[in-house]
Structure formats: C-alpha cells, structure tokens
A and B are shown apart, each in its own frame.
Chain A
Amino acid sequence: MRPGFLKQVLRLLIASWSKTLNYRADIVAYTLVSVAAPIVALAVWYTVAQSGGLGGNPQTVLTYYIAVMLVEIVTRAWRGLYIVDQIRTGAIVEQLIRPPVILLENVTSNIVTKAVQLFFPVIIFLAALLIFPHSFAPAIYELKNVILFLVSLMLATTIWFFLDIAIGLTAFWFEEAFELHTYRFLLMQIASGILIPFSAMPEIVRSFFSVLPFRYVISAPVEILLNQPVHASIGHLLVVQVGWVILTIFAVRILFVRGLRHYAVPGQ
C-alpha cells in the first residue's frame, strides 16, 4: 500500500462527509425515490399473495420487498453520471492531476452518502424485526443466511458501482453516454427483481434476465437472505456475482486506460 494512502482515504471521507451534510434534504429525497418503486410493487404483490397467488404467502412478499428496499439503498450507484459530465466538460482533468487515485473519491463519496441514507432505515428495520417477528419470514433470523446475505450484498454493491462507472466512462467515445444511464435504470427496474420477483417471472424471461447482471445486484442477495434461491443454488448465485465483479472491474480498467488515450479536453 502506498505511503499516506490511509491518510488520503481519511481526508476524502471527511471532505465527503461535509459535502454530504450540505445536501441532507436531497439525500432524503433520493432515498425515498429508491424505495418508491419497491413500495408500489410490494402493494401489488401483497394483494396478489392475499388472494392466493405467488404461493399465498404475504409474509414472504413483505419480507422480500423490505429487503429489496434496503438492498437498493445500499447498492445505489450514481457517480457514473458525474463522470459523464466531467468528461464532457473537461473537468476530469482536475481529478487526474490530484494525488489520490481517481476512483477513490467516488468510493468515499459513495460510502459516506450511504451511511447517511441508511442511518434511519436500518434502525427502523431492526426495530421492526424485534417488535414484529411474526410479520417477517423466519429465514432472515438465521445467522447463516444473514452472513451469506452480507457477503452477497458487498459483491452486489461492487458490481453496481463498477458497472455505473464503466457506463460513465463510455463518455470518452459517446456523446450520448447519459442516455445509456437511462437504459440502465430501465433494465434495473424490470430485470433485477424490483418490479417482478424472479420467483414470479415466466421461465423464458427469467432465463434471459439471469444472463444480465441486474439480478445479481438486487434479487440475488434477497434470495440468499430468504434462503429461497430461484432455479439456482446459493453457491451458484455467489459464484456468478464474483464473476460479474471481476468483469466489471476489468471493464472499468480497460475503458479508463483506453479512454484517456483517446481523450482530448474540450476546447483544445
């Protein structure tokens, strides 16, 4: 490890913390928007489960979607949008001449923002688990499931972070890189298990979406937590997640190195 690396990380964390607190209201708004789609989907599937569909188990549906909301907050990634803007305007040059590795600031900002976002939801969730244990699926109280869930969640966060950065780095070549983010958001809603749980999907759709990385960002950690992997084993889900982590990190590395070779600052 480079000398002074930990000091850089600490300084970036402190700087991110100050910046983040300036935008407290925005963070609350973005947290609410993260959970808006899962809340609507919960209302739909809970109604379906109450009428006997989806195995007739509203408790599992409720647990699934509360876990989805937490996972979505934890795995959220948005730095790619900033990178698109920085590349377009040439501001990325400021990042390149600074001592910390360019990704480091994106990582620290991500960590700090999520720490702020999760503070109240985690407390409320843990309190609900203790006060209303019969409202949730029993599987989430098993330590083995929780540990595997946390491992899967870290992998999911890494996948989504690097995929987001990779899409942002396409701005070295495409002016419409921002549009790619809007498609990423669309696929995230439909192919990750947010709108439709994988257990409810038709087989052909499920098979197709299982090839994409989105399932392994949202649905896979939740399936592991509930100990109900859909047409796969827990080991298989974790291995695929590791595969996507390697692929996305590799993609970011390639895109960054080649993009810089290709790049000319606007106005020069």
Chain B
Amino acid sequence: MPFLANSKHLARVWLAAVRASMVRELEFRTNFFSGLLRQFLWLAAFILFIETVFHNTNALAGWQKSEVLIILALSRFFEGFVETFFGRNIMGAPEAINEGQMDFILIKPVPAQLFMAFRRFYYSGLGNILAGIVLLIYASSTTGIALDGRWLLLLPLATAGLAIYYSILILLVTIAFYAEQFKAFFALTRIITEPLTVPLDIFPIGAQIAFTYLIPIAFIVFVPAQALTGRLSWWQVPLAMGIAAVFLVLANLAWRAGLRRYSSASS
C-alpha cells in the first residue's frame, strides 16, 4: 500500500536524522549540558513563582497549588516535546527561505514541510520532557488524582494540542514567504507561549475566548490540565480535535501558498 510504504520511508529518513543529530550533539557537549541546566533552572524559577503566589493566596481563580503545578508540568512537557521534535526546525525556516537554502529542502524526495519540520532532533529538549513528567507525577499524586479514565483523555487531547502548536508555528513562518525583512519569529512564538504556564481562568473573558478560538493555545496545556483535574466538559474533546484539524488544514494551505510564491536564490 503506497501510504504504508511512504510512511516507512519517512520513518527511515527521520531515524537517520535522529542519528545524525546525536553525532552533532556529541560535538557540542557543553551546549547540550548548558541547555539541560537552563531548562532545570527555568523549572525551578517557575516553581518558586508558584510557591510565592500560593504563599499569598489559597487558590488562583479556583485552582489549588498542586493543580497549578500540573499546568506547569504539562507546559514543560509540551515545550520540551515541541523543542525536541519540530519547534526549532520550524523556526529555522525563515532563514532558509530568505537565504535560498529552501532549495536544498525542496529537492529532497520527501514532503518539504515534513522534512523542514523534522530534519533535526534536539536532544537538549529531553530535559524539559523529563522534568515535566516527574513534576506531573508529583503534582498528580499530591492532588490525589486517581489512575482512571481521565488519563486516557490525555492522549487525544495532547495530540490535538501538539497539532495546534505545530500548525500555529507553520502559519507564523509562512510570513517569511511574504515579508523578507521580518526576522522576529522567535519573538512571536514567545508571545504565544507565555500564558501556557498559568491557568487561563485568570485572564479576562475576552482573552479566554481569543486563547480558545482565535489562537487556540488553550488546547495545548490548559484543556489537558482541565481533563486531569476533572474540570473537562464532554464537548471539549471533539472541539479540540476539530480545531486541530482545521488548523492543520489552514497551516498546509498557507504553506503551499507560500511555496508557490517562493523563488530560489539563483533564479
């Protein structure tokens, strides 16, 4: 079956990229360990932030300390996952587009978007993934969350959240096809990811609606956290899947439209 054959081919290409990335990572070991240290320091900083907040209050918009730690844990996990697998690759696309390096991606016998997004595996992001898992185990045991059906909801919600995150990044970098001078893509991603570590209930209702339907970052961390803490409404799961599908389609359309505009460096 062509789909299976293509999938196996893509998987082999990706595994080769993972192995090549390991070789590269071992050449810059100091950067690797420095990246890990920085991630743990960020985690410590956010934990200090949460501890200080709950030193001054008992609940934050109805969320207890251990529940806010769940949000933090999930945010660390997803940021680590994105950084490891595709985030930094996608952020490198504008430079590739502006400097003509996109040509080398387009001539590869794999879909250009997938190759561009998954061409390198950033091992240093594993620190955040590990920290997120450990903190999630600690926070959920402190909250007393049982091992029940709500953990099963985590997989489809996490998949939808990652698909939305991926789509938002693709939509952002397609700006580079139209605005060659614009270089502040990393700044835009920071603006989007800044609210991921806090309960979105603390924002005004207008902002909550924007974070849910306009730039649906709520589905990346907050909705999975709602699932684990028993706050999820049944309609949020199909809504998450639907929004993820819509954004994936939009991202692909924007990418293709941008590629049609692209002219290589030497033509």
Contact = CB atoms under 8 A, between A and B. Distances in A.
Interface of A: 22-23, 25-26, 29-30, 32-33, 36-37, 39-40, 43-48, 51-54, 176, 179, 182-183, 186, 189-190, 195-196, 200-202, 205
Interface string B40-79: 0110010011001101111111000000000000000000
A20 B179 CA distance: 16
Decide if the interface of chain B is mainly helix, strand, loop or mixed.
helix
Contacts of A40: 194-195, 197-198
B181 A25 contact: yes
A22 B30 CA distance: 36
A36 B181 contact: no
B190 A179 contact: no
B137 interface: no
A33 B31 contact: no
12 contacts: A29-B182, A39-B194, A48-B57, A51-B58, A54-B56, A179-B34, A183-B38, A186-B45, A190-B49, A195-B49, A200-B55, A201-B52
B24 interface: no
Contacts of B52: 196, 200-202, 205
Contact of A29 (B187, B197, B203): B187
Contacts of B182: 23, 25-26, 29
A186 B184 contact: no
Decide if the interface of chain A is mainly helix, strand, loop or mixed.
helix
A121 to B, nearest CB: 15
Nearest to B191: A36
B194 A36 contact: yes
Contacts of A37: 194
Contacts of B48: 190, 196, 205
Interface in B16-30: 30
Interface residues of B, number: 33
Contacts of A186: 38, 41-42, 45
B8 interface: no
B56 A200 contact: yes
B249 interface: no
Contacts of A183: 38, 41
A190 B45 contact: yes
Given A40-B198, A186-B42, 14 more contacts: A23-B182, A25-B179, A25-B182, A29-B182, A33-B188, A33-B190, A40-B195, A47-B60, A48-B57, A51-B58, A54-B56, A176-B30, A186-B41, A190-B49
A176 B187 CA distance: 22
B217 to A, nearest CB: 12
B202 interface: yes
A43 B203 contact: yes
B256 interface: no
A172 to B, nearest CB: 17
A179 B36 CA distance: 12
